[in-house]
């Protein structure tokens, strides 16, 4: 990967990157604790978000809220260029406490209405990625530019009809409904009258990850949110479905590079 620009300050992150010869070998499931804007410039690929499959063309923009799993799927090895922006869900709270600007993120079903088409956004994202001012000016630029993008998304989302869920989307939604329960992959599969291998194959095709990897990643994101709200580490682990605290502790450190708050 040719990383042209990557900047993270004050919880605001932006990356501009190119893969000259992309392939699916290194593709992994992504789940963030911040909102994301993904902007596609070139390549031959599709985007998976919680069981929904979105075709990509130049000017495609996808949004993912915190905890919403996503990954790219390459259809060929054509040059792949994109921007990615991550920001906290509280970014606009000082002037939009009701979070109306974030309506396209918050007021929709999981994995639905993630895709938009905004062909003239590249210059705006370039300005954000390559801005050389101080942190205050950078944050101000992010807020004003992203607010304008959110307003545009809000206008488009009002026109998007709700679609009936596909089989893949039903699988993913059910797993999310049962996320913190003491349930096995076999029991999940039986709910859909499938074998474990059939369920796992369909689930991986829908999300880009195995059911176990997906569930663990989702639980960890949820646990981090509970910790940030002040819940103790052991209680958060229990609430998120981790029966063994040591398993939770090791998984948390591996994913986030730090121990859960409340640990000694």
Sequence-ordered list of residues with C-beta below 8 angstroms from that of 177, at least 6 positions apart, any chain: none
Considering its fold, how many domains does the chain have in total?
A: 2
Q: Is residue 76 part of a domain?
A: yes
| Residues 169/205, Cβ–Cβ less than 8 Å | no
Residues 139 and 18 in one domain: yes
Q: Is residue 119 part of a domain?
A: yes
**Residue 26 pLDDT level (bands cut at 50, 70, 90):** confident
Q: What is the pTM of this model?
A: 0.88
Is pLDDT above 50 for 43?
yes
Residues 7 and 132 in one domain: yes
Q: Is residue 136 part of a domain?
A: yes
| 246 CB-contact burial (10 Å; exposed 0-12 / middle 13-18 / buried 19+) | exposed
Other beta carbons within 10 Å of 8: 10
Residues 192 and 150 in one domain: no
Predicted pLDDT of residue 263:
53
**Residue 1 pLDDT level (bands cut at 50, 70, 90):** confident
Predicted pLDDT of residue 245:
93
Rounded to an integer, what distance in angstroms lies between the CA atom of residue 172 and that of residue 206? Answer: 8
Q: Which CATH number covers residue 173?
A: 1.10.10.60
What pLDDT, in 10s, does the model give residues 77-129? Answer: 999 999 999 999 999 999 999 999 999 999 988 999 999 999 999 999 999 99
Task: Residue 236: name the closest of 215, 258, 263 by CA.
Answer: 263
Residues 193 and 228 in one domain: yes
Is pLDDT above 50 for 168?
yes
CA angle 248, 254, 255 (to 5 degrees): 90
Residues 95 and 171 in one domain: no
Predicted pLDDT of residue 155:
86
Q: Is residue 206 part of a domain?
A: yes
Q: Decide which of 129, 157, 185 is a domain's last residue.
A: 157
Task: Residue 32: name the closest of 53, 8, 56, 54 by CA.
Answer: 8
Other beta carbons within 10 Å of 166: 14
Residues 217 and 186 in one domain: yes
Predicted pLDDT of residue 262:
58
Q: Is residue 261 part of a domain?
A: no
- CA torsion sign for 203, 204, 208, 210 is positive
Residues 151 and 196 in one domain: no
- The share of the chain scoring above pLDDT 70, in percent, equals 97
Q: Decide which of 139, 157, 175 is a domain's last residue.
A: 157
Q: Is residue 162 part of a domain?
A: no
Residues 178 and 51 in one domain: no
Q: Which CATH number covers residue 75?
A: 2.60.120.280
Q: In which domain, by residue range, is 200 found?
A: 167-256
What pLDDT, in 10s, does the model give residues 203-214? Answer: 999 998 999 999
Residues 27 and 148 in one domain: yes
């Amino acid at each position: 990967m040719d990383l042209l620009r990557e900047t993270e300050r004050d919880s605001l992150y932006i990356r501009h990157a190119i893969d000259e010869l992309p392939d699916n070998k290194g593709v992994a499931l992504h789940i963030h604790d911040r909102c994301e804007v993904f902007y596609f410039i070139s390549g031959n690929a599709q985007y998976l978000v919680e069981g929904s499959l979105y075709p990509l063309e130049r000017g495609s923009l996808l949004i993912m809220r915190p905890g919403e799993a996503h990954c790219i799927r390459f259809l060929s090895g054509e040059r792949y260029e994109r921007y990615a922006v991550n920001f906290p869900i509280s970014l606009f709270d000082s002037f939009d406490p009701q979070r109306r600007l974030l309506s396209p993120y918050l007021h929709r079903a999981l994995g639905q209405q993630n895709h938009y088409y905004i062909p003239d956004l590249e210059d705006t994202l370039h300005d954000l990625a390559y801005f050389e001012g101080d942190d205050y000016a950078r944050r101000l630029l992010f807020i004003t530019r992203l607010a304008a993008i959110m307003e545009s998304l809000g206008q488009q989302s009002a026109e998007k009809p709700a679609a009936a869920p596909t089989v893949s989307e039903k699988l993913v939604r059910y797993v999310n409904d049962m996320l913190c329960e003491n349930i096995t992959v076999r029991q999940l599969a039986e709910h859909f009258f499938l074998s474990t291998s059939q369920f796992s194959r369909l689930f991986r095709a829908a999300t880009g990850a195995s059911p176990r990897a997906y569930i663990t990643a989702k639980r960890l994101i949820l646990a981090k949110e509970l910790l940030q709200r002040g819940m103790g580490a052991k209680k958060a682990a229990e609430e998120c479905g981790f029966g063994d605290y040591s398993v939770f502790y090791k998984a948390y450190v591996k994913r986030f590079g730090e121990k859960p708050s409340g640990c000694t």
